[in-house]
């Protein structure tokens, strides 16, 4: 059996090595390492894949979020609502820009932002909501969009973990994660569902004016060469990364199917075990399984993880500390116990190996070891 990894990027590479090597070599031959033709080409291809009117590639997912908030013209003191159970980047950029992060609890089942909690957190200073489509499943965006419209708020989707996931609205219309709010932000970090070979990210929007503003901000606030109309940043997707992504994009649906197949295997084996709760699937969203995250109940999660590690099965805790409990984000507004669901999740979640190359032999071994680990 091939050694089990959380993410196996080597085997994924080997499958498409000739195509990828040629794409990378072509960039080196052209020496257009920055702003090469592949960047715009990939952006157009991602527009047709996602259905977003505009895709603007940038240097990474965190900067995509930062640029989104800058493009919306948010000012210090403005409040931005994010879930407390997420990767730090979501709130980090809010704090960096001098905006006020307001965190809310999540749902026990989907682990995504609670709509009810968002409603309660809105104040006259609230300007934006940043739902995170955590682990590959869309947050319940329709009621969030309704609240945003009612209260005149922006919605910035953090879709770093959910590229390709689809949300179904109550009228039957389906759209892709990242294309439903004012701006969607994604990451091409190597281990993401569509990953490059370094850092990368993108913003998506259907709004022409916002798209133009985003392009200007990502390029030093420059409209005409050396004329800077607003304060910007330098955030570019390298041409080599764009070439890698453009080569991998046609495979994304197969990659998603491979993840879903592994998830279905896990589900099947764990169905009868009362110490394991498998990831809940919301009726309104597909799940692209950036992570397959169990909730371990009635067994010590940390001990389970140690037993798995000893048996050669890596397992990770995403995320061990909710944002309101992070040292850098200590705030007199929040204390332990304020967000009980997120705190309970932080103590019981366990993510299993999830990638595009898991074979039956590995899945059989992993599931056997997980069942042993929760029982002993």
Ligand X SMILES: *Cc1c(COP(=O)(O)O)cnc(C)c1O
Residue pair 9/236 in contact (Cβ under 8 Å)? The answer is no
Task: Record the tokens describing residue 238, joined without a space.
Answer: 């390298």
Q: Which is nearer to ligand X, 190 or 371 (CB)?
A: 190
Identify which range of 77-85, 117-125, 153-161, 297-305 contacts ligand X by CB under 6 A.
153-161
294 φ, ψ (degrees, to nearest 5)? -85, 155
Determine, following the binding rule CB under 6 A, whether residue 201 of this chain makes contact with ligand X: yes
Determine, following the binding rule CB under 6 A, whether residue 240 of this chain makes contact with ligand X: no
Determine, following the binding rule CB under 6 A, whether residue 241 of this chain makes contact with ligand X: no
Residue pair 141/120 in contact (Cβ under 8 Å)? The answer is no
Q: Which is nearer to ligand X, 59 or 211 (CB)?
A: 59
Cα angle vertex 230, ends 228, 232, to 5°?
Answer: 90
Closest to 237 (Cα-Cα) out of 50, 97, 45, 84: 45
Q: Which is nearer to ligand X, 193 or 369 (CB)?
A: 193
Tell me how far CA of residue 138 lies from CA of 12, 160, 283, in angstroms.
25, 11, 10
Identify which range of 14-22, 54-62, 148-156, 332-340 contacts ligand X by CB under 6 A.
54-62
Closest to 156 (Cα-Cα) out of 251, 61, 265, 226: 61
Q: Which is nearer to ligand X, 86 or 247 (CB)?
A: 86
Handedness of CA 53, 56, 57, 59 (dihedral sign): negative
Identify which range of 38-46, 82-90, 204-212, 338-346 contacts ligand X by CB under 6 A.
82-90
Taking the complex as a whole, the smallest distance from the CB of residue 359 to ligand X amounts, in Å, to 26
Determine, following the binding rule CB under 6 A, whether residue 86 of this chain makes contact with ligand X: yes
Taking the complex as a whole, the smallest distance from the CB of residue 157 to ligand X amounts, in Å, to 10
Taking the complex as a whole, the smallest distance from the CB of residue 364 to ligand X amounts, in Å, to 29
Determine, following the binding rule CB under 6 A, whether residue 90 of this chain makes contact with ligand X: yes
Residue pair 83/104 in contact (Cβ under 8 Å)? The answer is yes
Taking the complex as a whole, the smallest distance from the CB of residue 167 to ligand X amounts, in Å, to 17
Interface with ligand X (CB under 6 A), residue total 15
CA separation for the pair 305, 100 (Å, rounded)? 36
CA separation for the pair 121, 79 (Å, rounded)? 10
Q: Which is nearer to ligand X, 52 or 160 (CB)?
A: 160
Residue 319: cis peptide before it, omega within 30 degrees of 0: yes
Closest to 134 (Cα-Cα) out of 153, 101, 108: 108
Per-residue interface string for the shown chain with ligand X, residues 154-183, x marking contact by CB under 6 A = ----x-xx----------------------
CA 25 to chain centre: 29
Determine, following the binding rule CB under 6 A, whether residue 129 of this chain makes contact with ligand X: no
Q: Which of 12, 38, 50, 62 binds ligand X (CB under 6 A)?
A: 62
Q: Which is nearer to ligand X, 184 or 353 (CB)?
A: 184
Which residues are CB-contacts of 113 (< 8 A; sequence separation ≥ 6)? 82, 83, 104, 106, 107, 131, 132, 139, 140, 144
Task: Record the tokens describing residue 361, joined without a space.
Answer: 């032999």
Closest residue to ligand X, based on beta-carbon distance: 61
Q: Which is nearer to ligand X, 87 or 292 (CB)?
A: 87
Question: 188-206 burial, b for 16+ CB within 10 Å, e for fewer?
Answer: bbeebbbbbbebbbbbbbb
Determine, following the binding rule CB under 6 A, whether residue 60 of this chain makes contact with ligand X: yes
Q: Which is nearer to ligand X, 323 or 352 (CB)?
A: 323
CA separation for the pair 110, 224 (Å, rounded)? 46
Determine, following the binding rule CB under 6 A, whether residue 187 of this chain makes contact with ligand X: yes
Q: Which is nearer to ligand X, 157 or 182 (CB)?
A: 157
Q: Which of 61, 131, 136, 164 binds ligand X (CB under 6 A)?
A: 61
Residue pair 78/127 in contact (Cβ under 8 Å)? The answer is yes
Taking the complex as a whole, the smallest distance from the CB of residue 12 to ligand X amounts, in Å, to 18
Taking the complex as a whole, the smallest distance from the CB of residue 202 to ligand X amounts, in Å, to 10
Q: Which is nearer to ligand X, 201 or 232 (CB)?
A: 201
Binding residues (CB under 6 A) for ligand X: these are 60-62, 86-87, 89-90, 132, 158, 160-161, 187, 189, 199, 201
């Amino acid at each position: 059996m091939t050694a089990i990894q959380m993410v196996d990027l080597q085997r994924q590479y080997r499958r498409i090595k000739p195509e990828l090597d040629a794409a990378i070599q072509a960039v080196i031959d052209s020496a257009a390492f920055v702003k090469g033709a592949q960047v715009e080409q990939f952006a157009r291809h991602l527009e047709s894949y996602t259905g977003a009117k505009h895709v603007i590639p940038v240097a990474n997912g965190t900067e995509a979020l930062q640029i989104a908030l800058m493009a919306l013209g948010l000012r210090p003191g403005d409040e931005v609502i994010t879930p407390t159970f997420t990767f730090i980047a979501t709130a980090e950029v809010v704090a960096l820009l001098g905006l006020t992060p307001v965190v809310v609890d999540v749902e026990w089942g989907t682990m995504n932002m609670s709509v009810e909690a968002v409603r309660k957190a809105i104040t006259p200073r609230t300007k934006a909501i940043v739902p995170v489509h955590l682990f590959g499943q869309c947050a319940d965006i329709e009621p969030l969009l309704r609240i945003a419209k009612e209260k005149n708020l922006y919605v910035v989707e953090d879709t770093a973990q959910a590229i390709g996931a689809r949300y179904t609205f109550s009228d039957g219309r389906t759209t892709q994660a990242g294309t439903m709010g004012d701006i969607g932000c994604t990451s091409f970090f190597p281990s993401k569902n569509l990953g490059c070979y370094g850092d990368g990210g993108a913003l998506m929007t259907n709004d022409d004016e916002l798209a133009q503003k985003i392009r200007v901000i990502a390029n030093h606030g420059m409209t005409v060469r050396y004329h800077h109309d607003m304060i910007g940043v330098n955030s570019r997707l390298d041409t080599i990364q764009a070439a890698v992504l453009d080569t991998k994009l046609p495979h994304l649906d197969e990659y998603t199917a491979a993840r879903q197949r592994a998830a279905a295997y896990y589900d099947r084996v764990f169905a009868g075990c009362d110490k394991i709760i498998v990831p809940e699937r919301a009726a309104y969203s597909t799940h692209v399984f950036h992570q397959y995250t169990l909730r371990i109940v009635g067994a010590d999660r940390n001990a389970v993880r140690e037993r798995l590690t000893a048996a050669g099965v890596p397992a990770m805790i995403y995320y061990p500390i909710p944002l309101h409990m992070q040292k850098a984000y200590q705030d007199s507004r929040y204390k332990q116990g304020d967000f009980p669901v997120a705190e309970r999740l932080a103590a019981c979640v366990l993510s299993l190996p999830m990638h595009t190359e898991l074979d039956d032999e590995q899945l059989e071994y992993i599931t056997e070891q997980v069942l042993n680990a929760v029982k002993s």
